[in-house]
Chains A and B, each alone.
Chain A
């Protein structure tokens, strides 16, 4: 056996995909008379029974408002909620549980940093650096800050493969740069950015870095301390958990120095009409009653993902990605958009002369769910000179047979328009 084959044998995923699929009740259905092939995981991932049941059990037995009641249910609910914070801390390897803030999602986490951190640190002529492959949610909040503070948004360019130009990036960092806000894994291209190196370069100039991890956490293990990330945001619903819940990690020293984002109950220690006293972390940034049940569901989702194992997930998805890339290459009319060397399991593509919406409609009638459009990343589409793509985004519960179904569906699409 050659060395390469030995490596391949070792890397063979220990995932029992068929057994794991049985954990996801929604997958076992027919759509338009065909078995559902769910390839829209980057938009929102499906929930395993373990999450669905944890949520139902909590609502049926332990639910109450948190952090304020002396009664038993309130204590149980608080315990469950705070246990989820511990799970997130371990999941991201944060140094302290108080560095984990619950939000409504990645978008709110980014907005929190924009409002609380960037608005107070940016002034006339200061700069915020983002990349050419950001989701709108990591562009617009910074544009709002820049408009208010007369600051400037600078953009790291990328090459035709969808990889950032690190030399251009290094050249963008200067004395006016107040923050780098960057996507960890691109939703539209699948690119996995070299974030450790990007953070190192920024820190060499004393610039903090926020990472949008929405598309990263379902696919790869994230260690915020090893990365030395200053802020890290992600959403529960892309991690097989409920919608309406997200996490913002922030280094305690930064969060402590930041003003509150929203005022209200939960985030204060005392209120008079003359003055209010804010809680310490994490309460200072968690005004109002949070999505308690959703947070409990996120905790269950993290348990599930860790039980499956992100290394095994990554290995299987890498194999699926390689298989899908090879099979798409059989269709000469298809061009992949996003061909970075380091890539998560996203197949974004265009088909000669056929609009993505027509592709999406025809695939849907074959039971295949894909996303079509600009994926909330219009600057990415502009960079590649296309209006939209079709995107198949794979999760660990997807199979090679499903990739085959996609290819067969695309052959049908091409036939219709032949």
Chain B
């Protein structure tokens, strides 16, 4: 397997895609559906906010390994963050997977850094970002489904 692929399908990503964390509905939590009409991937992101802070975050849906792993790591990352912190992480993540952050600080991105390889696969960027766009809509209190197109 070539290096780009190994970089994309890191063990952490494969592992999260097979055993996604927080893969469950959150009763009473606000949730938004995300949809990628190009490939048919769907995701529902649930966020519980307490005093502007994410007290719990979970997701359901089906998609490729990248989208499932991305949603799984995202739910872990967002827990305990304020909305402003979540927005900043979203921007950092977006820059990372679109290749606009060659100087990304791995410390700051934490586990999200495993998605750096996505930037070599432009066709897969939306797989990684669908859940984030959906979470952002949920944090903003929106109800409308989110679409990548």
Interface residues of A (CB under 8 A from B): 32-33, 353-358, 361-362, 365, 372-374, 378, 381, 387-388, 412, 415-417
Contacts and interface: CB of A to CB of B under 8 A. Distances in A.
Nearest to B124: A361
Interface stretch (B46-54, B60-68, B86-94, B101-109): B60-68
Contacts of A381: 40
A355 B121 CA distance: 16
Contact of B40 (A361, A387, A416): A387
Interface in B20-74: 38-41, 62-66, 68
B64 A416 contact: no
Contact of A357 (B5, B14, B124): B124
Contact of A365 (B2, B14, B18, B127): B2
A357 B18 contact: no
Contacts of A354: 65
Contacts of A33: 2
B63 to A, nearest CB: 7
Which 3 residue pairs spanning A and B have beta carbons closest together? A355-B64, A357-B64, A358-B65
Contacts of A365: 1-2, 4-5
A187 to B, nearest CB: 16
Interface of B: 1-2, 4-5, 8-9, 14, 18, 38-41, 62-66, 68, 121, 123-124, 127
Contacts of B8: 361
B105 to A, nearest CB: 27
Contacts of A358: 9, 64-66
A362 B18 CA distance: 17
B63 A355 contact: yes
B26 to A, nearest CB: 23
Contacts of A355: 63-65, 68
Given A355-B64, A387-B62, A417-B14, A361 B123 contact: yes
Given A362-B5, A365-B2, A417 B39 contact: no
Given A358-B64, A365-B2, A388 B40 contact: yes
